[in-house]
Chains A and B, each alone.
Chain A
Amino acid sequence: MLLDLINIRKVRRAIVYFGLILAALFFQNTILAKVPILGVTAMVIPCFVVAAAFFEGGVWGCVFGLVLGIFYDLSLAGTSLLFTILLPIIGFASGSLVMFFLNRRPLSFFLVSAAALIITAFCQMFALLVFSQTKVLPLLITGALQVLWTLPLSFTAYYSCRKISGLDLSK
């Protein structure tokens, strides 16, 4: 009886996406963090949120972003809530965009990912800019390099989410 109330397909998909969250965190914190180029590492987390939202819609994108944001904030030093708030917004916004205005092709994903990465970098530098009175140019260079290094890697998120969703874009 109780099993009839549960949508097994959705639960299975949620479990798979939870696995993807853990994989994304492992990829970011264990692999990418150890490969700085010009002192800056890639930041692929927002791309996973955009990818999930692209193939599952705004609501799933938001929930995926919320869970990933909480876990990522917990993995960072300090007591920031930045990703807990930012990633669900990115998830919902990109999911809504793809549901009404954009297609799910790689180019659209690339553009939305780039926008998400720029917003993330801006939010990350905001505290330093306002509270620590750091000079703007080094912050902008770091932000730009972070976006630049991440964009080629964003497709790992795109193709993994496309595979999980099972969506056939050729039709």
Chain B
Amino acid sequence: MKKFKDYLKKYGPRLGLLVACAAILLGITQGRAEGEAIAAKDAAASMAQPIKQASTGIVGWLEGIYGYMFRYDRLQEENEALKVELAETKVLLRSARDAERENERYRELLGLRDKHKHLVFESAKVIDRSTSNWSRSFTINKGEESGLEVGDCVVDSSYSLVGQIIELGTGWSTVRSLVDADMRVGVLVGEGGAAAMVVGDFALMQKDRIKLGYLTGEAQVLKDDVLLTSGKGGFFPVGLVVGTVESLHTEAGGQVEYAVIAPASESGALTQVFVIKDFNIVE
């Protein structure tokens, strides 16, 4: 026991000092700028990027082979279903064009300002996914050199919200996923467009779900209601699809209502995303 105490006395303080110095140094450099990666982290991430891209490519290639070998029939069925959906969409598009022209005429008649949505996109590839069980994030292959900023929102090809950039480097950015426990998004819900808040929940995060909370008394939420971003706060443009109401619950005590939301985007399966660098919306 004495030897053990002597050993602790001899090495404990020295090693403690070494660890403290390293932690302080790393802490100071990390605290330099909110969201902007430190030089060491930036260099490490940039060096690891080719490896990440290669491993993602190999995994994608193997999944493709697996899909071709074992999911061929299902893919063929899906292809047929998509062809039908495409034909239906074309019919809808034609009627939408007619409606748009009619709408324009009415606008001119009433002298209303033109309603438009201008979004500036940056296409990016997902090169890595979160390795932690305690958060959900992923890395994309575009960074500050592409004009991205911390807080920019990320969507998929169908304008569904995927997440938000939380950290930037050269040639890479970290995106906090929509289902992460720290995510907060203002949304409009129901036919009346009542304002509410989508918040990440740790228990739901494991099931890739989010929670709709802060419901006001007059808000009527029904199953299968679609949630759209409210645009409040300035980070998210209005009208992005967040998800649909999967189930409704009441918290213990029965006073507070909340809903479980299935996100519209499948962030776990995405390979291509779009960062909204800038937006200008006139409603």
Where the two chains meet, the residues of A that have a C-beta atom closer than 8 Å to any C-beta of B are 26, 28-30, 32-34, 38-41, 43, 58-59, 62-63, 66, 70-71, 73-79, 81, 84-85, 88-89, 92, 96, 99-101, 124-125, 128, 132, 134-135, 137-139, 142, 145-146
Q: Which residues of A contact B201 (CB under 8 A)?
A: 134
CA–CA, A101 and B5, complex, Å = 12
Q: Kindly report which residue of chain B lies nearest to residue A32, judged by CB atoms.
A: B131
Among A43, A63, A85, A92, contact of B133 (Cβ-Cβ < 8 Å): A43
Give the dominant DSSP class at A's interface.
helix
* In contact, B137 and A134 (Cβ under 8 angstroms): no
Among B19, B26, B135, contact of A77 (Cβ-Cβ < 8 Å): B135
How far, in Å, is B211 (CB) from chain A's closest CB?
12
* In contact, A77 and B137 (Cβ under 8 angstroms): yes
8 A-B pairs with CB atoms under 8 Å apart are A39-B207, A66-B18, A70-B26, A77-B139, A84-B19, A89-B19, A96-B4, A137-B203
Q: How many residues of B contact A (CB 8 A)?
A: 45
The 5 closest A-B pairs by CB, nearest first: A138-B203, A33-B131, A39-B206, A79-B30, A77-B174
Q: Give the interface segment out of B7-15, B89-97, B118-126.
A: B7-15
Among B3, B131, B167, contact of A75 (Cβ-Cβ < 8 Å): B131
* In contact, B134 and A124 (Cβ under 8 angstroms): yes
* B236 is an interface residue with CB less than 8 A from chain A: no
* B181 is an interface residue with CB less than 8 A from chain A: yes
Q: Which residues of A contact B12 (CB under 8 A)?
A: 92
From 124 to 158 in chain B, residues with beta carbon under 8 angstroms from any chain A beta carbon are 128-135, 137, 139
CA–CA, A169 and B132, complex, Å = 35
CA–CA, A40 and B134, complex, Å = 9
Q: Which residues of B contact A138 (CB under 8 A)?
A: 202-203, 206
Give the dominant DSSP class at B's interface.
helix
From 220 to 253 in chain B, residues with beta carbon under 8 angstroms from any chain A beta carbon are none
How far, in Å, is A96 (CB) from chain B's closest CB?
6
CA–CA, A14 and B15, complex, Å = 17
Known contacts A75-B48, A78-B166; A128/B202 CB under 8 A: yes
Q: Which residues of B contact A62 (CB under 8 A)?
A: 11, 15, 18-19
Q: Which residues of A contact B99 (CB under 8 A)?
A: none
Extra contacts besides A77-B166, A125-B134 (11): CB < 8 Å: A30-B52, A30-B55, A58-B11, A59-B11, A66-B19, A71-B44, A81-B26, A96-B8, A142-B134, A145-B133, A146-B133
Q: Which residues of B contact A142 (CB under 8 A)?
A: 133-134, 202, 206
* B51 is an interface residue with CB less than 8 A from chain A: yes
* B22 is an interface residue with CB less than 8 A from chain A: yes
How far, in Å, is A168 (CB) from chain B's closest CB?
24
* B31 is an interface residue with CB less than 8 A from chain A: yes
